[in-house]
Amino acid sequence: MVFLSFLRIIKFSFQDIYRNIWLSIVTITILILALFSINLLLAVRVISDTAIGAVKDKIDVSLYLKPDSTEEEIMALKSQVSNLTQVKEVSYISKAQALEFFQEKNKDNPEILQALRELGKNPLTPSLVITPKASEVAGELIEELNKIKSDLIESRNFSDHKLMLDKINGITGKVNEIGMIISLIFILITLLVVYNAVRVEIYTHREEIGIMRLVGASNSFIHMPFFLSSLIYTLIGTAVVILIFYPFLSLLQPYLETFFTGYDINVISYFNSNFIKIFGLEFLAVALINALASWMAVRKYSKV
């Protein structure tokens, strides 16, 4: 009998979807729009995180050394700096390399190159370019670098760096904070829209629910077809979003690659590697909201 009831619940559920096809389409469309918006917001987060990461990667601190420093002395200092806990990487730029970079950078500026030639010697100093582990520890790193007592160091004026780092950290913190608030508001609105769509769908069935109750249908028999219908809506909605969203990402990807030249940004691979987590979680959350909305609405209309 339980199996028979289960089969009938499935039959009634599909019959209901088919016989109220327009209402079903509207409900599924709302689910698709809601899920698409959530995924779009997620893609924007991925892009903004990459952009912030790109800016932070650019942060490095340079120690300018005296021109007459020997290689051994510089290597000893490099090793000392490398041992600092805040340091990710230290690169040594020799005088010759510094000149090479300078010439490359100013290759379109013949006046500067002419002035350099007239000088007759390499005026640039060797340097150590230090990349911090994270932009958040760059401040600490500067403090540590200031503590190093070495005659090799010609210049260690980091005040501009400190100011810039504070600004970047402040901006990224704010961006994350605002992003989080917008995401939460957006998710809340989406859930309310989905919740309401299901309630409206069931509102149109209120008479039917009352009749089911009057002819002796048990509570579970009344609830289950609606619960199953909402699960089917969620399943179709999630599947359609996956089918729409991937082509959309494929269209977006070339523009992102052009914009973030030199940086590894691939939203498609992000969605691929988190496929189950993203779409599974979305399915579960929407199914839960649908189930809750249908349970509450059916309960309300079956009180006869």
Partner 1 sequence: MRRRFMIKLLNISKIYQPDVHALRDVNLHIKPGEFISIVGQSGTGKTTMVKILTGEERATNGRVLVGGWDITNIGQREVPWLRRQIGVIYQDFKLLPKKNLRENVSFALEVCGNTPTKISSIVPQVMKIVGLEDKQGRYPREVSGGEQQRAAIARALVHRPKILLADEPTGNLDSINANEIIELLLRINRFGTTVVLVTHNREVVNRLKRRVITLDSGMIVGDQEVGKYIL
Among 70, 110, 117, 214, binds partner 1 (CB under 8 A): 214
Nearer to partner 1, 233 or 279 (CB): 233
**Shortest CB 172 distance to partner 1, Å:** 56
What H or E segment, with its residue span, contains residue 47? helix 21-57
What's the burial of 293, exposed, middle or buried (CB within 10 Å: 0-12/13-18/19+)? buried
Q: For residues 67 and 269, give the distance between their C-alpha atoms in angstroms, rounded to a whole number.
A: 47
CA distance 122 to 91: 20
CB 194 → partner 1: shortest distance, Å? 24
Short-list 292, 279, 281, CA closest to 198: 292
CB of 298 to partner 1, least distance (A): 14
Sole binder of partner 1 in the list 52, 137, 217, 240 (CB under 8 A)? 217
Binding mask 52-91 for partner 1 (x = CB under 8 A): ----------------------------------------
Whichever of 1 and 119 has its CB closer to partner 1, that residue is 1
Query: x-or-dash pattern for partner 1, window 8-27, by CB under 8 A?
Result: x------xx--xx-------
DSSP class per residue in 61-126: EEEEE-TT--HHHHHHHHHHHHTSTTEEEEEEE-HHHHHHHHHHHTTT-HHHHHHHHHH-S-----
| Contact range with partner 1 by CB under 8 A, out of 51-59, 62-70, 202-210, 285-293 | 202-210
On whether the CB atoms of residues 278 and 269 are closer than 8 A, the answer is: no
Where does this chain bind partner 1 (CB under 8 A)?
Answer: 1, 4-5, 8, 15-16, 19-20, 207-208, 210-219, 221, 304
